[in-house]
Structure 1
Amino acid sequence: MATSSFFTEEDGHFAATAFALSLWGPRTLNGPAVCALAARSAEMAGPADGFRPARFTIDLFRAARQDPTTTTATLLRDGGRVRVIGVDVYQYPDGLGTDPVRVAHSTTVFLKSAGDPPGQRWSREATGFHPPVVADDDFYPRFAADATIDSDGNVVAAIDWTSDIAALQGSGRKRQWTRPLPVVPGESPSPFVGAVTAAESSSLLGNWGSTGIGFINCDLTVALARLPRSVRVGVESDFHVENDGISVSQSVLYDSAGPIGTGLVTAVNNAKAEIDFTTVKPEDRLRQA
């Protein structure tokens, strides 16, 4: 697959490419594209010596579409150990020069790096993560799933790493290993932007069940103890609960060396537009649903 990007830059705004399209509906953008754009804007506005991004939270107010898009970054706090950048994502459904619509708002917290305090604390072991080997120029995600038991009491075998997304449709815990696309052409995603882009799949992996994905997330929070050291980032579903059409899903984020942080999403029932991966092929929307 040739390297492309979620957006192109045109006369002061971003234009979504086909790689940014989702499977939820015509002209709608996928979550990774919107989150990546906001994370890139925050990182460009927030760097300072000794600081690194530790938490990214985005509220997705409404479905973003294939309309002209802009971002506005604001320094909300400039402290000795904490810097906070707010980013608003605007779209122009009636064209540039008309009233914009705010489709998302993110807050990124940058923390001052320092040595760890003394003492020993529990931490999840890094030995349980075994990502697959994938060619450098292959941007299509790989998926895997744990064994589970179906509604009839039958054991459904675990699924090893595969690019066949339909094979993962079931109730088993899922994981993903992916190389995030650039936000704009000719610019490799930074480790922070790559982590945020991958983490948006916390919703996909947590809310994907035996009939497809029928929840749509309205937010994403990414917490990072460190930035990924590899260009690929893994996402492993770690917790999911749902009730009355509302779900909460949390994932562990990791790179080739082990865990780096978590992704957390809340989601709402969207069963009327449920995506059944046994009948809809994501590659028809250029790999990044």
Structure 2
Amino acid sequence: MITGPATCGIVARELENAFGTADFVPARLTVDLFRAGMMSETTVTTTSVRDGRRIKVADASVLQGGVEIARATLVLLRTSEEPPGEVWVPDDRPIPPNAEPSTEPGFWWGSDDHPDGWTQSMRAQHNAGRKRMWGRQIGVVSGEEPSQFVRCAMAAESTSLMSNWGTLGVGFINADMTMALARLPIGPDIGLEADNHISTAGVAVGSATLFDRHGSFGSCVITAVANPQAQVTFG
């Protein structure tokens, strides 16, 4: 199988290549992940839904063997000036680890309940505290450096991991991912911090904040279904 971040990354790549422009920001990407992707030939088709002066919308479909395994919608918004006045923002902002910037793909993992805050061991973060991750995504296409938007899409899919990770690992699989961006990240390293987890009768909703060393720049939300027979415990 291929992972959810890989599916989100390839669909983000295709939509950005087809519809991205210098004066429009990719503001929202929603990916429905309704079939597991396999290690086989994958095709992405894209369609323009709206090509407006301030708003552009495009759809994509991910196919394997002629069967749709995922679909996505991208909303692009034209950049402009900020309006006047002050708006409430939360006081607490995610803080990256003090580690040096990455030169290779890899991750740090953190939680409120871990005494050292950040580690490079996922197993060390088996607790009930708020989870966060920081690092550099691998390339979604071999031999090609991913764009900042593709890096975001791959990181955002881990909202399910951040929001559903508890004392015994992760017992949910996400059915979708929605990422909303105010800007693209600065630098190749991206963080993701859980904001909320809500679950009842095996159905969960999770949310998280995307951040870099300059602050928060986006929000993510997922829905997930319980999958305890394949509980992921990170060894």
Between the aligned partners of 1:190 and 1:125, the Cα distance in structure 2 is 30
Aligned to 1:87: 60
CA drift of 1:136 comes to 3.1
- Quick check: 1:270 aligned with 2:227? yes
Counterpart among 132, 135, 144 of residue 110 in structure 2 = 144
Check conservation: 2:177, 2:220, Cα contact below 8 A: yes
- Once residues 77 and 102 of structure 1 are traced to their aligned partners in structure 2, the CA distance between those partners, rounded to angstroms, is 22
Cα offset, 1:196, TM superposition? 1.0
Letter in 1 for 2:103: D
Q: Show the counterpart of 2:99.
A: 133
Which residue number corresponds to residue 61 of structure 1?
A: 34
Q: Are 2:23 and 1:50 equivalent residues in the alignment?
A: yes
Distance, in Å, in 2 between the alignment partners of 1:77 and 1:275 is 40
Q: Which runs of 5+ in 2 are unaligned?
A: none
The Cα shift of 1:134 comes to 3.8
- Say whether residues 1:238 and 2:195 are aligned partners: yes
Deviation at 1:131, TM superposition (A): 2.9
Matches within 5 A, 1:14-163: 28-92=1-65, 100-125=66-91, 128-134=94-100, 136-147=102-113, 157-163=114-120
Shift of 1:183: 1.4
For residues 113-170 of structure 1, what are the alpha-carbon distances to aligned partners after superposition, in whole Å with 9 as ceiling and x for unaligned?
A: 00011111012347551333245333121001102xxxxxxxxx54421111100112
Matches of 1:45 and 1:213, distance apart in 2: 35
Residue from 133, 140, 156 that aligns with 1:183: 140
Residue of structure 2 in register with 1:150 after alignment: none
**What percentage of residue pairs aligned between the two structures are identical?**
40
- 1:178 deviates by 1.6
- Greater gyration radius: 1
**TM-score between both structures, scaled by the size of structure 2:** 0.96
2:201 maps to 1:257 = no
Unaligned runs of 5+ in 1: 1-27, 93-99, 148-156, 280-289
SS of the equivalent of 1:264 reads strand
Normalising by structure 1, report the TM-score. 0.78
Task: Find 1:204's aligned residue among 131, 140, 161.
Answer: 161
Q: RMSD of the TM alignment (CA)?
A: 1.4
